[in-house]
Amino acid sequence: MWDSIWTWHGLGGAAVASAGALAWFFPPLRKYALAAALTAAAALSVYHKGQRDGSRRTQRKWDDAEDKSAQRGKQARDDARRDVDAGRVSGDKWFRD
């Protein structure tokens, strides 16, 4: 439950809303309530930015791994075709030399 970004948005929103209500209904605590609301909003923003940046970094690593795998597969296929064309692979059904 705690790893969902919507959970953290909900908790951050609830903290900001409750601090706003505290500031509205208890004016002597307004300064502290607004400081708490700003702190919660800042923490929520930092968390969201970290989540977004982490997701982008993970996606970039995944894309790089897919590209590398595709290049290795193409190289292996080209090597196999070159070996067959050069006659280096015997004609038995297990392709043993």
What average pLDDT does this structure show over 51-74?
A: 94
Q: What pLDDT, on the 0 to 100 scale, is given for residue 62?
A: 96
Q: Are the C-beta atoms of residues 97 and 89 closer than 8 Å to each other? A: yes
Q: Are the C-beta atoms of residues 22 and 33 closer than 8 Å to each other? A: yes
Residue-range domain boundaries for the chain:
5-85
The pTM assigned to this predicted structure is: 0.56
Q: What pLDDT, on the 0 to 100 scale, is given for residue 95?
A: 60
Per-residue pLDDT tens over the stretch 1-40 = 456 666 767 777 888 888 889 888 988 988 998 898 889 8
* Per-residue burial over 42-74, b = 16 or more CB atoms within 10 Å of its CB, e = otherwise: eebeeeeeeeeeeeeeeeeeeeeeeeeeeeeee
CA geometry: angle 68, 72, 75, nearest 5 deg? 140
